[in-house]
Amino acid sequence: MDQNAEQQRIESIASHIESIIELLGEDVSREGLLRTPERAAKALWYLTSGYRTTSDKVVGQALFEHEGSQIVAVKDIEFYSLCEHHVLPFFGTISIGYVPDGKIIGLSKIARIVDVYARRLQVQERFTAQIADEVRRLTGAKGVIAVCSGEHLCMKMRGVEKQHSATSTIHYNGVFDDASLRAEFLSMI
């Protein structure tokens, strides 16, 4: 998307946010809110940037030939996302392990893949599965496992208002169907 089209979308989002603020009963012309619609639109645009990129783009050429390695694990990659049900933040960490099949991926690229999917409207369950499945697709790994822990503001700020709740999800494929291999990964992280 070219910069002009991007700016037009941000301006349109800002217009809608201004309307929402007014519908909530607030005066958008008061000092503290003068630029809020624009700032909120830019923040939302950034927080959903995963819609405007792909894993293939962020990984590029960072796949390398490598024989060996039983499990490669990258743990505690932080992420920030927006719940697709309430458009409220959820955040946490995700740990990813894979068993290479002749190729390894640049470690920072795994974190970039996490960002591609975190920067979309999400549910944690799908997010965890998307990361595992995408790392496997890109690397051709024998198997991938992803373990995610997240805190959801939609549970903390509204609804049940449970301040100390956290959600854990796991998704695995390929050789990680083997419970002993999953246990080995879990002991690594």
* Residue range 82-141, pLDDT digits in tens: 999 999 999 999 999 999 999 999 999 999 999 999 999 999 999 999 999 999 999 999
Q: Parallel, antiparallel, or unpaired: how do β-strands 72-83 and 121-122 relate?
A: parallel
pLDDT band at 30, cuts 50/70/90?
very high
What would the 3-class secondary structure string for 86-107 be?
CCCEEEEEEEEEEECCCEEECH
Q: What is the pLDDT of residue 69?
A: 81
How many CA atoms lie within 13 Å of 90's alpha carbon, on the beta-carbon side?
28
pLDDT band at 188, cuts 50/70/90?
very high
**pTM of full prediction above 0.85:** yes
83 is catalytic: yes
The active-site residue, picked from 8, 66, 85, 125, is: 85
181 token code pair: 């291999």
How far apart are alpha carbons 27 and 184 in whole angstroms?
57
How far apart are alpha carbons 53 and 113 in whole angstroms?
10
How far apart are alpha carbons 161 and 158 in whole angstroms?
5
The active-site residue, picked from 84, 125, 151, 163, is: 84
The active-site residue, picked from 26, 86, 151, 184, is: 86
How far apart are alpha carbons 79 and 67 in whole angstroms?
30
Angle at the Cα of 151 from the Cα atoms of 148 and 105, rounded to 5 degrees: 30
164 is catalytic: no
151 is catalytic: no
Delineate the domains of the chain, giving CATH numbers in brackets: 3-47 (1.10.286), 61-188 (3.30.1130.10)
Buried b (16+ CB within 10 A) or exposed e, 55-87: beebbeeeeeeeeeeebbbbeebebebbbeebe
16 is catalytic: no
26 is catalytic: no
